[in-house]
Structure 1
Amino acid sequence: MAQSATSHLFGESAIDAPRPMRVVVVGAGFSGIIAGIRFLQHVPNVQLTIYEALSGIGGTWFANKYPGLACDIPAHCYQLTFHEKTDWSSFYARGLRCADFQSIAVLRRAHFPVTEIQAYLESVVDKYNLRPFIQLEHRLTSAVYSEATGKWNLTIQRPNKASEGEPDGETGEGDVSSPWEDTVESWKDKRVGVIGVGSSAIQIVPALQPKVRHLNNYVRGKTWISSPFLGERAEKLGMGKTESNYIFTDKDKELFKDPAYYKEFRRDLESDLNSIHVVTLKGHPVQEGGRAAFKADMLKRLETHPAIAEHLIPDFPVGCRRLTPGPGYLEAICQDNVEFIPTEIKQILPNGIERVDGKIDELDIISLGPNSAVGSGSLLIVIERQVQYAVEATLKLQREHLKSMDVKPEAVADWDAYIEHHFAKTVFSERCRSWYKQGMYEGRVVALWPGSCLHAVRALEHPRWEDYTYEPLDGHTNRFFWAGNGTTIAEETPGADRAWYLSEGEVDFPPVPLH
């Protein structure tokens, strides 16, 4: 009776004995891959599954294979902190076939076109042996939390079937990618319409323009097209402030093989990239200077077509919409086989597009260009820190034998107030149609972190556990239940190291002052 009465007060295992944890990651893009690596690295006794709806890893870099596909920040800034690539083909990493660059073994076994960034992700997955944990063609269709059990009930859909619980390992055939690279070569006699001026459309237009008979670009709104982002280190390589993408030479890549040189090059680029947050602040001199410089650059590049410049150059601040370099876009829309159409579309017809003014454009092919990305800086370092935050929360649940943790309503309210205060000071709240505001001209900014990229990194460093409420596991009622039976695993394991705190890496040596 006495033992039963105290079973909910004191744990019976060693203080550092990790209880089993089941972790499910949704998606095998950058975020899912980072999560897989870090959870396996930091969380002991974990059962990990990564569900990916598509038939290959890479997320958007697997799904998207449109002409001109490229990253719109420097390739050397679009990689993980712990897995560097020195042989990027160009300043803005492009979508290439596997045969166009030095590939890893797994890509030689692939049967689909592979982008350079996807190849990078494939190399990360293979280096950290994540494939056994990834279930391809497994789409999460619902996730329902059970208050009674403290667990999530997931519904996973596979090709031609849906099931509850554990997957049986069946997979379908085929992939969802479009055979762009095979078909575009046959479009030389085609009339093509590209709708929009988002980041994808800006890449598609210059890629298609030389390969088709005629191209219509339907542009309802305005947008800023920046010159390519180049830091001082990049200019020293001889890149210059060119309007096109810079292709790295063999000499460049040889320089990058020097670890010290490469580290300095990358740090310079990322430092420059992380210095542009001030352009998002209303009335800041950098915002005003950038606006004047971008306008002058766009006017110069469109000097033969002033009507396009008049329609395209915005009256809203730089950064209100996603800022995209768009190498070659402005030059492409000035070509003789391109018509820039600012008239809105009324409807899509079987043989083309009808404008609101009644004019019908007969077209053979329509491509749609969605717009997506982040406000400023590289998203990847933020993703890494978000994953680490989730790891820390999981470790807390494991270490302290907690059933659940839930953010306090008052913490949500305070954070909401902070968000509203911050965005009122930024260009994101100005009147422009943006995915930051769910495609609206005005409204709440819902897609961005309220601050710079570096601000997010610092904010996520130290979780505020006091902002959460916790539910104990198995009904234990003593908050120190996690302290266990008063021993550690080392003491209960014959031959274990019982002076581990003296091991290499465990001792924190303070610096000795110079006298």
Structure 2
Amino acid sequence: MSTSLAWESNHGKDPDVLIIGAGISGICTAINLLRHTPIRNFLLLEKGSQIGGTWNDNQYPGCCCDVWSHLYSLSFEPNPSWSREYPGQEEIHAYLKRVCQKWGLYSFIQFNSVVEDARWDGETLKWCSKVRVTGGKSEEFAKEGYVIKSDYLVSAVGQLNMPYYPDIPGLGEFKGTVMHSARWDWSKRIEGLNVGIIGNGATAAQIVPEVAKTAKTLTVFQRTPNWLVPRDDKKISGMRQALYRYLPPIRRRYRASLMDFRESWYDAAVVEDSDLNNTMRDLCAELMTKQLVDKPELVAKLTPNYPPGCKRIIISDDYYPALNRQNVELNTGTIEKTTETGIVVEGKEIKLDVLILATGFKTVQFMYPIKIYGENGRSLEDIWPSGARAYLGITVESLPNFSMLYGPNTNLGHNSIILMIEAQSRYITEMISQVHHARSNGHTLSITPSNCTVETFNEEIQERLQKSTFASDNCNSWYKNEDGVITNNWCGNVIEYQNRVSAINWKEYEITGSCAETLLKKDKSRLGRVVEESNSALIPIAGVVSMAALGVAAYLVRYGPRRIR
């Protein structure tokens, strides 16, 4: 195996920074390096053949975002031309590609490159990452793979990148078409066929209405019901797009109002048995009853026994109407096995031509399947014996000069994840800058969160999370691991998190190297944050704003357009 073969052949030396993943997190971090540092010797490795991460992987029918388009975009790269309130996959992917082109990121990205393992070298204070080339032109340069050494390693692989396939006996025996939602095959025909879909979460709620239009029959296999609220999606007029383009203050004010609205939903989605959470439950139940007019017997099957927010709340205008169709059946029985011709549920075989797996991702296995080895060869499995954890979801004990984006306990149940990613990227960029500055001046620097820092932080957030809807005993979700530990979600709102990562307290880190004392003398590095909410007193008035938000939702349920009934 040649060392750094592909990278050195083009650049002459190893990168200072290696970023794994070219989705939104990797793109944001790379741009921040260009915006705020002199670092130009960095590399993004992407396992796919295109940028975009989850928005490149997921290309199924009806794929779209459940956050408003003007809030699901980078603050420093607004898009005044979003065509809809909720963007579709193709429009989001096109936006990300435009951003990459504008900032010249393609010259920093190496596609079809899978990082198999990364090891910290305590002598050189560098990360050694083993890369396997999977296809494309890259194979011509490094057919056997190669190793890249970097001063800093960033994981931007996210939480939603490895599809989860259900453990159903006989799944491999099915003779029809099998597709995971994240591996959709558009060459396979669905029209006029008998289709089954396993899952009824956010992804299934987008696929079902589209497939139901053309399938002969569609059977939705439901394990656990979900709460659902109306989307009220609509086109953004050309006049509004022009206003957002030529009068940026109007666009910024609109984005701020969306930020306010989403933050105000925190109590409704996260605080169990709060007045707002109970109001949310009532509105969801009313919407269900209103839209299932032809199949009222489904209401009981679709009503969860857990509070809204315990599992991801579905946002849809057409899921219930799709279930209301005569060619669609909701099956809530226990799946026993798969045969060559269908699925057996409680002794009865349901004949199928196509089986769709809307079963999500391996969300609690952060960094999977990459093998990570930190100080003294300590593996990530040894570091996380009871589940993934990190300080601020960004830095991990025993992993020097390493950071994550969208790491443990940074997912949200109420707002746009991009708001979290941008804050994390600013924090990480400062850490990278310190290491780069030391190296550029002939010094060394190693930064690792102390065990005490990680322990104290995680004790705090887990205690708070136990009081949230995520911790309800009545539901299992991708927010938890098998032991019930909430490894994915943040315990507060976005503003709180942004404030907590607006400065780096160097006393919370174990810092070694020839210029360690210089950094420790700084005490703190103040980064600030992107302030996007329209009212600095948002948190104290959140209850008022939430009631207004729920009032809008109630109006949509009771008097909304006919298409959502």
TM-score norm. by structure 2 comes to 0.70
C-alpha distance in 1 between matches for 2:182 and 2:415:
29
Question: What's 2:258 paired with?
Answer: 269
* 1:434 alignment partner AA: S
Counterparts of 1:481 and 1:201 in 2: how far apart (Å)? Answer: 50
**Retained in 2: the 8 A contact 1:203–1:326?**
yes
The one-letter code of the counterpart of 1:317 is: P
Mark the CA change 1:481 to 1:212 in structure 2 (over 3 Å): closer, same or farther: closer
**How big is each residue's C-alpha offset from its partner over 1:7-46, in whole Å with a ceiling of 9 and x where there is no partner?**
xxxxxxxxxxxxx971000111000000111112223244
Secondary structure of the 1:152 match is strand
Give how far 1:164 is off.
Answer: 2.6
Alignment match of 1:250 (pick from 238, 246, 252): 238
Is this contact kept in 1: 2:15–2:43, CA < 8 A?
A: no
Matched, 1:147 2:122: yes
Q: Distance in 2 between matches of 1:299 and 1:137?
A: 48
Q: Choose from 67, 82, 92 the match for 1:73.
A: 67
- Matches of 1:72 and 1:82, distance apart in 2: 21
- Partners of 2:253 and 2:446 in 1: CA distance: 44
Structure 1 residue 163 corresponds to structure 2 residue 145: yes
Of stretches 422-431 and 304-313 in structure 1, the one that deviates more from structure 2 is 304-313
**Is 1:315 equivalent to 2:305 in the alignment?**
yes
Give the whole-Å Cα distance in 2 for the aligned partners of 1:330 and 1:177: 23
* Deviation for aligned residue 1:201: 0.7
- Note closer, same or farther for the CA distance 1:162–1:60 as it changes in structure 2 (3 Å cut): farther
- Alignment partner of 1:479 is 2:468: no
The alpha carbon displacement at 1:296 in A equals 1.5
Aligned-pair CA distance for 1:180: 4.4
The size of the alignment, in residue pairs, is: 414
Q: SS of 1:75's equivalent?
A: coil
Alignment of 1:332-351 (within 5 A): 332-351=322-341
2:426 to 385, 388, 395: 388
Aligned residue number for residue 58 of structure 1: 52
Partner of 1:451: 492
Distance 1:464 1:131, change over 3 A: same
Q: Secondary structure of 1:77's match?
A: coil
Asked whether the equivalents of residues 32 and 50 of structure 1 are also in contact (C-alpha less than 8 Å), the reply is: yes
Distance 2:183 2:217 in 1: 22
Matches within 5 A, 1:143-222: 143-159=118-134, 161-166=143-148, 180-181=185-186, 183=188, 186-222=189-225
Letter in 2 for 1:416: N
Report whether the alignment pairs 1:463 with 2:504: yes
Q: Indicate the percent of aligned positions where both proteins have the same amino acid.
A: 27
Note the 1:430-449 alignment, pairs <5 A.
430-431=472-473, 432-438=475-481, 443-449=484-490
The code of the aligned residue for 1:128 comes to W
Aligned to 1:367: 356
The answer to whether 1:294 aligns with 2:284 is yes
| CA deviation map 1:358-379 (0-9, x unaligned) | 1111111111113477322111
- Post-superposition offset of 1:73: 1.1
CA contact (8 A) 1:36 1:130 kept: yes
Distance 1:143 1:198 in 2: 34
User: Could you tell which deviates more after superposition, 282-291 or 423-432?
Assistant: 282-291
Query: Which residue number corresponds to residue 171 of structure 1?
Result: none
Pairwise CA distance, 1:317 = 0.7
**Of 3, 20, 23, the match for 1:26:** 20
Instruction: Answer whether contact 1:399 1:482 (CA < 8 A) is retained.
Output: no
Distance (Å, rounded) in 1 between the aligned partners of 2:329 and 2:336? 18
Q: Is the 8 A contact 1:67 1:181 kept in 2?
A: no
- The Cα of 1:284 is off from its aligned counterpart by 1.8
- 1-side partners of 2:144 and 2:340: how far apart? 35
Partner of 2:382: none
Q: Indicate the structure (1 or 2) with the bigger Cα radius of gyration.
A: 1
- The separation in 1 between residues aligned to 2:184 and 2:480, in whole angstroms, is 33
Is residue 322–residue 375 contact of structure 1 (8 Å, CA) maintained in 2?
yes
User: How far did residue 443 of structure 1 move?
Assistant: 1.1
Identify the residue that residue 455 of structure 2 maps to in structure 1: 413
- Structure 1 distance, partners of 2:511, 2:210, is 53
Separation of aligned partners in 2, 1:252 and 1:39: 33
Looking at structure 2, the residues matched to 446 and 126 of structure 1 have their Cα atoms a distance apart, in angstroms, of 35
CA distance in 2 between partners of 1:125 and 1:267 (Å): 25
Identify the residue that residue 495 of structure 1 maps to in structure 2.
none
Q: Are 1:31 and 1:383, in contact at CA under 8 Å, matched by a contact in 2?
A: yes
Query: Gapped runs of 5+ residues in structure 2?
Result: 1-13, 136-142, 150-180, 362-410, 522-565
Structure 1 pair 179/369, CA: closer, same or farther in 2 (3 Å)? Answer: closer
Q: 1:352 aligns with which of 342, 352, 376?
A: 342
SS at match of 2:104: coil
Assess, with a 3 A threshold, how the Cα gap between structure 1 residues 246 and 462 changes in structure 2: closer, same or farther: same
| TM-score normalised over the length of structure 1 | 0.76
CA drift of 1:482 comes to 11
8 Å CA contact 1:224, 1:313 repeated in 2: yes
Q: What is the alpha-carbon root mean square deviation over aligned residues? A: 2.3
What corresponds to 1:101 in structure 2? Answer: none
- Find 2:415's aligned residue among 359, 377, 383: 377
User: For residues 89 and 416 of structure 1, what CA distance do their matches in structure 2 show?
Assistant: 41
Does residue 92 (structure 1) correspond to residue 125 (structure 2)? The answer is no
Q: What is the CA-CA distance between 1:392 and the residue it aligns to?
A: 1.0
Q: Distance in 2 between matches of 1:187 and 1:399?
A: 56
Q: Distance in 2 between matches of 1:180 and 1:266?
A: 35
Which string of whole-angstrom CA distances, capped at 9 and with x for unpartnered residues, describes residues 77-111 of structure 1? 1000011112222221113xxxxxxxxxxxxxxxx
Q: 1:295: how far off?
A: 1.4
The gaps in structure 1 that reach 5 residues or longer are 1-19, 96-114, 168-175, 229-241, 484-515
Distance in 2, matches of 1:374 and 1:28, equals 21
Distance in 1 between the 2:267 and 2:330 partners? 33
**How many angstroms does 1:329 deviate by?**
0.5
Cα separation, 2, equivalents of 1:220 and 1:52 = 34
The answer to whether the 8 A contact 1:224-1:323 is kept is yes
Q: 1:227 to 1:334 in 2, by over 3 A?
A: same
The one-letter code of the counterpart of 2:130 is T
Letter in 2 for 1:151: K
Q: How much does 1:248 deviate? A: 2.7
In the TM superposition, residue 148 of structure 1 has moved relative to its aligned partner by 1.6
Aligned residue in 2 for 1:424: 466
- SS across alignment from 1:139: strand
Q: Deviations over 1:390-425 (max 9, x none)?
A: 111112223454431111111112112101211122
**How many Å separate the matches in 2 of 1:136 and 1:220?**
37
Instruction: Give the match for residue 331 of structure 1.
Output: 321
1: distance between equivalents of 2:328 and 2:430? 53
Q: Distance in 1 between matches of 2:244 and 2:118?
A: 45
Query: 1:473-512 to 2 correspondence within 5 Å?
Result: 473=514, 479-480=517-518
Inter-partner Cα distance in structure 2 for 1:177 and 1:70: 13
